[in-house]
Structure 1
């Protein structure tokens, strides 16, 4: 007679590395907002404005003309050439042979990691950080160690010596995001040079997430410092970018990679086995964004700077709030009463105030005590959010 215990099927589970991944706490807060009327959502990293008409029209035209077929794994030649010209104008000579088109910036990050990271490899990341950059290497079996930014009178800053000490000879990859999500911290050119020289000496790869490079307010240059300004195109540097932020194309899922030409054949294989290619009509829209979008991006950055300054001033007037104006990106990452458990606080803000912010804990333990507010919207909408925050904090203080 068969033992019923032996016949009982095992519970079907994903592999351990996947089960150990952090869930998105931003999504957890957003999910808590479903069914709550009149929530003001500032939790996601996108503008409240739609993609500009000239880009949408280009996609519609491409669809109408039948651009619905597979393309080259690395992207259509006209887009790769347009991106090469764009990168060259910002960061020095770059050819289409250095460029691959991807299905979004996050897909580019995954592909970059797949190119150079394997099980057991040591990866270093600078945090607080958008969780995808920390979790992606873990999917591949890598071990991730973090170096935390510090918060003080000058806002968020990097202890460069601490980072260099963490980049030991057994390190395979450094993952950096500058301008940084969530803090708005921007790595200086001198810091990048020191890190690049150190990584050269030890053969460490750098994956630089530079999707916010155009959202930079410090010196009027219109572009944050980039590793592409310093590194030769055949070095161990992979730069990731996206159409999502500078052209408001979050839902289009289009990005690109600048990498050594020696990687491109293998990168093409990885794209084939991940997504095959980006949609042709989306790539056609990308060409128009790159070639005709300079004025739009400049105006967008002007608007974002105005919204940043407006929100900083409003929050600085709220008792208990500590906020500093960031040099880049589209977020304020600030502390306020009750943020020692930022997830619980943000859920309470949704439920009791109709205010949607992202918990600092979503960006690693180094982010606990802070919340993130995306300011890519009209100042009047920001004012409404601040008023809700003030009422919430006053009610809590009364008990």
Structure 2
């Protein structure tokens, strides 16, 4: 039978998500009865806080099930703007687009800023979807490797300065980082600012993990002098509020940018889900205690893993944010991760998926008991 579809060149530029591929394999094995310790997915293992759930239910009961204004309900946009002002960003509600998930905010940003052949600079290891979205927009990629510097940006500023030029259209910064957990220093972000201003470069600042930090303070890039008019701040509710399945995110930029990105937004997703947006208002206004509890649990798990790896002679670079850790493995990290799930029933993501060969990313969004079990299994199967 002939294939009637003539697939676009655009879709051929990208591969499926390696993170979701590992997660799907883990789910398949669990369906077959295997006991998999799944450390592959970037999803908090906590329930959505009850007050948020109740706010969503109340919104449904009140009949908030229709379309909203495309960029979001006024109450949520104002709550987001107020939250951003608390991080030092001079934000207004009209500078916000509410999206169904942070990924949509990123996608709209790439599509709004990038033409075929434009240069986009990524800081490696980089979340897999940045590369995919840049390629879908037709970008040419340049990359700066942070692995030799303990995944920190500050020691790599000279390399970044050699990479960013007047030909650079966009630089992507993610702090706290997925997949490393690194929180970039103020000096590092000031270095980004200096290069962006010097070369007139736009910057994506993906701050989805901003509320999950431990021994370092988060700094919003758009709060720095000279960055307000050239930064698109991306954030959302999935991580800090354990709302992954609710699909709620947002971007903040200038009104001019919002006007342009809003065209794509209105012609693609129309709007974020009505009742979910109202739950988002509750999340921003009344959930600090739950966020603190989750953050403290993640810190304890991170410290536990560091100790466990140290006991077995595995040296890891300890991140100060998010809930990820990159562990050094065999040079063929894909084969190592396949062995981990096949032999030890532990699911991890190959570092090569993030352009960091020789590493595996583990998510410690799992109980301490399961984390101990994972390390024990890897050790007993000679994988550590």
Query: Do both share a fold (TM > 0.5)?
Result: yes
- Distance of aligned partners of 1:173 and 1:243 in 2 relative to their CA distance in 1, 3 Å threshold: same
Match of 2:184 in 1: 187
Match of 2:37 in 1: 40
Contact 2:127 2:179 in 1 (8 A): yes
In the TM superposition, what are the counterparts of 1:275-294 in structure 2 within 5 Å? 275-294=269-288
Give the Cα separation in 2 of the matches to 1:93 and 1:48: 34
- Distance of aligned partners of 1:376 and 1:10 in 2 relative to their CA distance in 1, 3 Å threshold: closer
Contact 1:179 1:212 in 2 (8 A): yes
Cα deviation 1:316-364 (Å, max 9, x = unaligned): 2124x2212211111011113xx31112211221111111111111112
- Distance of aligned partners of 1:234 and 1:177 in 2 relative to their CA distance in 1, 3 Å threshold: closer
Cα deviation 1:227-276 (Å, max 9, x = unaligned): 02214675111010010111111111100111011222222211111200
Match of 1:157 in 2: 152
Match of 2:88 in 1: 91
Match of 2:67 in 1: 70
Contact 1:254 1:282 in 2 (8 A): yes
- Distance of aligned partners of 1:68 and 1:374 in 2 relative to their CA distance in 1, 3 Å threshold: same
Matched, 1:20 2:17: no
Match of 1:205 in 2: 202
Give the Cα separation in 2 of the matches to 1:52 and 1:298: 12
Give the Cα separation in 2 of the matches to 1:100 and 1:26: 27
Deviation at 1:290, TM superposition (A): 0.2
Match of 2:246 in 1: 252
Contact 1:179 1:210 in 2 (8 A): yes
Match of 2:354 in 1: 363
Identify which of 167, 171, 175 aligns with 1:170.
167
Give the Cα separation in 1 of the matches to 2:157 and 2:271: 38
Identify which of 361, 378, 387 aligns with 2:376.
387
RMSD: 1.8
Give the Cα separation in 2 of the matches to 1:120 and 1:93: 33
Identify which of 349, 353, 361 aligns with 2:344.
353
Matched, 1:342 2:359: no
Cα deviation 1:2-32 (Å, max 9, x = unaligned): xxxxxx9676342223213133222332333
Contact 1:32 1:347 in 2 (8 A): no
Contact 1:25 1:343 in 2 (8 A): no
Contact 1:355 1:388 in 2 (8 A): yes
Match of 1:3 in 2: none
Deviation at 1:38, TM superposition (A): 0.9
Contact 2:229 2:254 in 1 (8 A): yes
Which of 1 and 2 has greater Rg? 1
Contact 1:49 1:377 in 2 (8 A): no
In the TM superposition, what are the counterparts of 1:258-269 in structure 2 within 5 Å? 258-269=252-263
Give the Cα separation in 2 of the matches to 1:53 and 1:171: 45
In the TM superposition, what are the counterparts of 1:60-139 in structure 2 within 5 Å? 60-139=57-136
Give the Cα separation in 2 of the matches to 1:205 and 1:233: 9
TM-score (norm 2): 0.94
Contact 2:19 2:349 in 1 (8 A): yes
Contact 2:29 2:36 in 1 (8 A): no
TM-score (norm 1): 0.90
Give the Cα separation in 2 of the matches to 1:78 and 1:20: 39
Q: Which runs of 5+ in 2 are unaligned?
A: none
Give the Cα separation in 2 of the matches to 1:78 and 1:231: 28
Identify which of 120, 139, 160 aligns with 1:142.
139
Match of 2:22 in 1: 29
Give the Cα separation in 2 of the matches to 1:32 and 1:238: 35
